Structure 1
Amino acid sequence: MNTMTDTAALAAAAQAAEAPSFRDELLAAGLLIDTGENGLYGRSQIFEDVVDRLNVAITHLGADQQPELLRFPPAMRRTDFEDSEYLKSFPNLAGTIHSFCGNDMGHQRLLRALDDAMTERDDDRSDDWMAQQKPTRVVLTPAACYPIYPVMARRGPLPAGGRTIDVLSYCFRHEPSLDPGRMQMFRQREYVRLGNAEQVMAFRQMWIERGSLLIDLLQLPVEVDLANDPFFGRGGKIVADSQRAQALKFELLIPVADPRGKTACLSFNYHMEHFGAIWKIECEDGAIAHTGCVGFGMERITLALFRHHGLDVNAWPDDVRALLWGDTQARVAHGMETMRTASDDTEHDSGERV
């Protein structure tokens, strides 16, 4: 037994346990505001400024695609949500919206139950008053792209070139955690592609390259990985394995709060005909449309910047500050041109070797 080594390991573990977590540092700096509920935070002016400037960079990254810009509230029709089959895969993450729909007697019962609940501490409070609540016709949006598909279906067949949509929304997932990278309410910025299989696959590959470029310009460490969603239940592993086998989902992973792991900050998804079949979205030739999307986790990318460049934005690397607070359009355009040149050179070299 190496007593010195064991003692040092125990001391290091104790020090790590006492050290403030990244979440603690963010709260102490006032960048995130504690609401008393895990995974539910306020955001400071500085935090929101970074999010806004990231959005500008993402807009310039996709401007040449001439996307249609659509914005929805963070809620969607319950019937559309039911049709999406989200509950089949992620019932544990879904959030429904309930409201009081009763009469005077029901209101009195609610008030009595509420009075009883308020005599207890927060963690011990009864939820009996919620027995007077009924489900409404809307639910919280689980992913920014979900409201798009029924809207596209109502427009009729897609044009020959398909459609590209730019969407941004707050989303909800019931996943309370002390990890600030795993919020219950967060924003997703997405570009969504609807068309035939070739159009959607080309779109996804393009955005894997452009997403990687953005993270490179932000000077963040990144890893691209084949991924799968956290499908619920005993059959979830089978579905997840199938998703990986078909290479339907890739993620850009960046270390954020957990030093032992990495957080998915961007995802690149190919849905095949799933949403096209559900909502009967057709291509110009009558075939069922394929869909895909690239999703930017706005809070997660922002957190990654604070994690790797420090909590003082004025001390961030000059090139990062110039990208976000300088001529963003020119810097993004230069990065994309450099990327295209490198790709052309690679293809040229490959052709010469053949």
Structure 2
Amino acid sequence: MNTMTDTAALAAAQAEAAPAAPSFRDELLEKGILIDTGENGLYGRSQVFEDVVERLNVAITHLGADQQPEVLRFPPAMRRTDFEDSEYLKSFPNLAGTIHSFCGNDMGHQRLLRALDDAMTERDDDRSDEWMAQQKPTRVVLTPAACYPIYPVMARRGPLPEEGRTIDVLSYCFRHEPSLDPARMQMFRQREYVRLGSPDQVMAFRQMWIERGSALVHMLQLPVDVDLANDPFFGRGGKIVADSQRAQALKFELLIPVANADGKTACLSFNYHMDHFGAIWKIECADGSVAHTGCVGFGMERITLALFRHHGLDVNVWPDDVRALLWGDTRARVLQGLAGGAA
């Protein structure tokens, strides 16, 4: 008798027979905090979830108020030509989302309806997409990052002032990466502060926000690590670009466990683009040099999910200091937190 083999087989059989523990996603759906739409990574949000997001937004506003940013808000779509100019497709073609629409005549409409009727006879996952042959690209695409619509707007204004510009922007964004991880959504919100100016101005901005972002997460009593990172560049050449990005220390991320205790999810990112966007859109500093840009991005859904993960699904029993920050005198709490060493 092979005792080790039999013991392992018994353990495997018991594990198979035992019901799997509910995942964090299961718990969120069961509690109604997120709403299942039937599509991975696409969720409805409950009133409780949205309340936390809104209160986080207030805290982030106070966190950057002394920077006197210009507040801009854009819809979650941008002009296709601006998207093409951004070079996003060079690096992330697999994440992009284009918007198509029917642009045909009566005959094309009839072909579309026949194809749609045929498709609807099949189950959801088996349906044909032949009706989409009647669709054509529109002049807009889904916004991949909240800061993207800013750069062509800034370029049209002419040279930056001596002090550069700081922009506060918030938008829903899209990335085509369906997942069962609730922190990896296809449609999500990014709150960003974007800096345009000289290299020194942008680098100082990024360092300040690494400190302030870390301070906010400590105020929220969440576990956190800040680490050097790279974007998920596509294809064989992507590794070379990613290695270069890391070697130049262009991107840092603030990591918090969300879906499980062992993994870490990027909830804030701190990026230095150098003159990439300045050169594309010919954004100039006051002295005529090409502007550099950088941004801090807050993943609103991810930070909110981290709060539910670490403090529980009932916001009424969250730690007193966290509740005081979000539902109390938020401005005073933020200023107090910054005065504690992250200003």
TM-score, length-normalised on structure 1?
0.93
Query: Measured at CA, do residues 319 and 9 of structure 1 come closer, stay the same or move farther in structure 2, by a change above 3 Å?
Result: farther
The 1-side partners of 2:160 and 2:107 are apart by 52
Aligned match of 1:28 in 23, 27, 30?
30
The offset of 1:260, in angstroms, is: 3.0
**Matching residue of 1:277:** 279
Q: 1:338 offset after TM fit, Å?
A: 1.4
Change (3 A) 1:8 1:202: farther
Q: Which amino acid aligns with 2:20?
A: E
Native 8 Å contact 1:96 1:139 kept in 2: yes
- Residue deviations 1:21-68, cap 9 Å, x none? 100000000000000000000000000000000000000000000000
- The gaps in structure 1 that reach 5 residues or longer are 342-354
In structure 2, distance between residues paired with 1:160 and 1:329:
30
**Cα distance in 2, alignment partners of residues 247 and 12 from structure 1:** 48
Q: Is the Cα contact below 8 Å between 1:179 and 1:258 reproduced in 2?
A: no
Correspondence for 1:62: 64
| Distance verdict in 2 for CA 1:15–1:65, change over 3 Å | farther
Distance 2:280 2:51 in 1: 38
For residue 143 of structure 1, what is the aligned residue in structure 2? 145
Aligned pairs, number: 341
Aligned-pair RMSD on alpha carbons? 1.7
Counterpart of 1:231? 233
Matched residue, 1:37: 39
In the TM superposition, what is the alpha-carbon distance from 1:259 to its structure 2 partner?
3.2
Structure 1 residue matching 2:269: 3-state secondary structure = strand
Task: Tell me, in whole angstroms, the C-alpha distance in 1 between the residues paired with 2:129 and 2:288.
Answer: 51
Tell me the secondary structure at the aligned position of residue 286 of structure 1. Answer: coil
Deviating beyond 4 angstroms after TM superposition, the runs of 4 or more aligned structure 1 residues are 1-17
Distance 1:9 1:197 in 2: 59
Partner of 1:260: 262
Letter in structure 1 aligned against 2:149: P
Q: Residue deviations 1:102-128, cap 9 Å, x none?
A: 000000000000000001000000000
Q: Is the 8 A contact 2:212 2:342 kept in 1?
A: no
Q: Which runs of no fewer than 5 residues in structure 2 stay unpaired?
A: none
Q: Which amino acid in 2 is paired with 1:34? A: D
| Shift in alpha-carbon separation, 1:278–1:48, aligned structure 2, 3 A | same
Partner of 2:99: 97
**How much does 1:183 deviate?**
0.1
TM-score by length of 2: 0.96
Cα shift at 1:310: 0.3
Distance 1:16 1:218, change over 3 A: farther
Q: Deviations over 1:309-351 (max 9, x none)?
A: 000000100000000000000000011111158xxxxxxxxxx
Tell me which residue corresponds to 2:132: 130
TM-aligned CA distance change 1:20 to 1:81, over 3 Å: same
Using the alignment, how far apart are the partners of 1:92 and 1:13 within structure 2? 37
3-state DSSP class of the match of 1:225?
Answer: strand
- Residue 250 of structure 1 deviates from its aligned partner by 0.1
